[in-house]
Amino acid sequence: MKILVCVKQVPDSWAEKKLTPAKVLDRESADAVLNDLDEYAVEEALRIVEANGGAEAGHTITLLSMGPERAQEALRKGLSMGADNALHVKDDALAGSDALTTSRILAEAIKRENPDLILTGTESTDARMSVIPAMLSERLDLPHLSFAGEVHVDVNARTIKSKRMTDEGVEAMESPMPAIVTVIEKINEPRYPSFKGIMAAKKKSISELSLADLGVAPSEVGSSGAWSAVNDFALAPARGAGVKVTDDGNGGGALVEFLAEKRLI
Ligand SMILES: Cc1cc2nc3c(=O)[nH]c(=O)nc-3n(C[C@H](O)[C@H](O)[C@H](O)COP(=O)(O)OP(=O)(O)OC[C@H]3O[C@@H](n4cnc5c(N)ncnc54)[C@H](O)[C@@H]3O)c2cc1C
C-alpha cells in the first residue's frame, strides 16, 4: 500500500502575522513550521502502516508539499517522524497561487504517484480555507472521507472505514481505495521525532518537481493565474470592556436582565 500525505509549511501559529503591501501573508516575517494539523495526518499514516504489518509488508509513506525552498524543512520534520520519502513541488512562478491552482498542482503530482490512500489535514493554520482536500477529490474523481476522527484500513479488501465527527454526531463512512481522508486533531497524538528519526531523515530523499515536470504552464499559476484576489483587509475591531455586574444582593437578577437584553435567554 502506498500512502501519500499532503503537508504544508505555514508561519508559526503563535507568531504575529503581517500582510505585505501586495495584501498577501508576509511569510518571511515569522518562523515557518509544519502545519500542526498535517502532523496528525502524518501520524495517522504511520499508525495505518504499523497496523498493517509495517514497512516490511511493503507499505510506504510519501509526503507531498507545494511551497518555496524552505518548505523542505516541513518535509524533513515529517520524514523525521517516520515517513519514507517526499516530493516537493517548487517553482518561482507558483508564488501567489490561490486554492484552485494549489489543488491543481497537488492533483497533478498525486496522479504521477498513483497512491492507494491520500491523507490531509482539515485545514492549514494560515489561510484556513479548508478546501484543498475537497478540490483534490473533485480533480482526481476520488471518494473523500472528511473530518475523520477514526480510520481503519483493510488492505486485502481495499476498503477504508472512518468515523466522521460532526456537530450533530458521528457518521460511519466506508469507501473503496483509493480515497482521500481528511483527519481531525482528535484522531491521535502525533509522536515527537526521535534523535534516530531526525538523523535518518537527513538521508531520506526529497524529489523536486517543477511546473514543467507536471505539464503546467507558468502563466496558469501564481498571482497572474489566480481566480481570487484580496482586495482589501482590516483589523478586527478591538473588544469592548464588557459589563461588570456588582452583586449588591440583586446580582442574579442583573445577570438575567443582561442575558435577556442580548436575547440569550
Ligand atoms: C490571492 C491569493 C494569493 C495567495 N498567495 C499565496 C502565496 O503567495 N503563497 C502561499 O503559500 N499561499 C498563498 N495563498 C494562499 C494559498 O492559496 C492557500 O494557502 C492554498 O490555496 C491552500 O489553502 P489553505 O492553506 O487554506 O488550505 P486548506 O484547504 O485549509 O488545507 C487543507 C489541507 O490541504 C493540504 N494542503 C494545503 N496546501 C498545501 C500545500 N501547499 N502543499 C501540500 N498540501 C497542502 C494540507 O494537508 C492541509 O491540511 C494565496 C491565496 C490567495 C487567495
Write out pLDDT tens, residues 33-52: 999 999 999 999 999 999 99
**pLDDT-derived band of residue 59, with 50, 70 and 90 as boundaries?**
very high
Query: Rounded to the nearest 5°, which phi and psi values hold at 149?
Result: -105, -5
- Count of structural domains within the chain: 1
Q: Stretch 194-220: mean pLDDT, rounded? A: 97
The span from the CA of 16 to the CA of 145, in Å, is 33
Determine whether the shortest distance from the Cβ of 38 to ligand 1 is under 6 A: yes
Determine whether the shortest distance from the Cβ of 94 to ligand 1 is under 6 A: no
Q: Which grid cell is 100?
A: 484552485
Determine whether the shortest distance from the Cβ of 98 to ligand 1 is under 6 A: yes
The span from the CA of 27 to the CA of 47, in Å, is 32
Per-residue confidence (pLDDT) for residue 57, from 0 to 100: 96
262: nearest Cα among 237, 241, 238, 243: 243
Write out pLDDT tens, residues 152-198: 999 999 999 999 999 899 999 999 999 999 999 999 999 999 999 99
pTM above 0.75, yes or no: yes
Query: What is the gyration radius of the CA atoms in the chain, in angstroms?
Result: 22
Per-residue confidence (pLDDT) for residue 246, from 0 to 100: 83
In a domain, 162, yes or no: yes
In a domain, 151, yes or no: yes
Per-residue confidence (pLDDT) for residue 197, from 0 to 100: 97
In a domain, 24, yes or no: yes
Contact 150, 51 (CB under 8 A): no
In a domain, 252, yes or no: no
- Which pairs with CB-CB distance under 8 Å and at least 24 residues apart come from 53-56? 55/84
- Ligand 1 pocket check: which of 90, 102, 135 to mutate, most ligand atoms within 8 Å of Cβ? 102
C-alpha dihedral, 129 to 222 to 102 to 68, nearest 10°? -100
Determine whether the shortest distance from the Cβ of 132 to ligand 1 is under 6 A: yes
Determine whether the shortest distance from the Cβ of 228 to ligand 1 is under 6 A: yes
Per-residue confidence (pLDDT) for residue 228, from 0 to 100: 87
Write out pLDDT tens, residues 98-147: 999 999 999 999 999 999 999 999 999 988 899 999 999 999 999 999 99
In a domain, 251, yes or no: no
Strands (E), the chain: 2-6, 9-11, 32-34, 60-66, 85-89, 117-121, 144-154, 159-165, 170-176, 179-183, 206-209
Contact 3, 119 (CB under 8 A): yes
Residue 244 has pLDDT above 90, yes or no: no
Contact 144, 82 (CB under 8 A): no
Per-residue confidence (pLDDT) for residue 234, from 0 to 100: 84
Per-residue confidence (pLDDT) for residue 212, from 0 to 100: 97
Whichever domain contains 209, its CATH number is 3.40.50.620
Contact 11, 25 (CB under 8 A): yes
Write out pLDDT tens, residues 61-97: 999 999 999 999 999 999 999 999 999 999 999 999 9
In a domain, 250, yes or no: no
The span from the CA of 181 to the CA of 191, in Å, is 20
Per-residue confidence (pLDDT) for residue 126, from 0 to 100: 87
The span from the CA of 129 to the CA of 123, in Å, is 6
Per-residue confidence (pLDDT) for residue 150, from 0 to 100: 98
In a domain, 259, yes or no: no
**pLDDT-derived band of residue 17, with 50, 70 and 90 as boundaries?**
confident
76 Cα: distance to centroid of ligand 1 (angstroms) = 19
Residue nearest to atom 41 of ligand 1 (CA): 66
Residue 138 corresponds to which amino acid? E
158 Cα: distance to centroid of ligand 1 (angstroms) = 30
Provide the CA 87 distance to its chain's centre, in angstroms.
Answer: 16
Per-residue confidence (pLDDT) for residue 19, from 0 to 100: 82
Determine whether the shortest distance from the Cβ of 35 to ligand 1 is under 6 A: yes
Residue 235 has pLDDT above 90, yes or no: no
Per-residue confidence (pLDDT) for residue 110, from 0 to 100: 98
Determine whether the shortest distance from the Cβ of 225 to ligand 1 is under 6 A: no
Buried b (16+ CB within 10 A) or exposed e, 180-214: bbbbbeebbebeebeeebeeebeebebeebebeeb
Task: Give the residue numbers spanning the domain of 43.
Answer: 2-225
In a domain, 261, yes or no: no
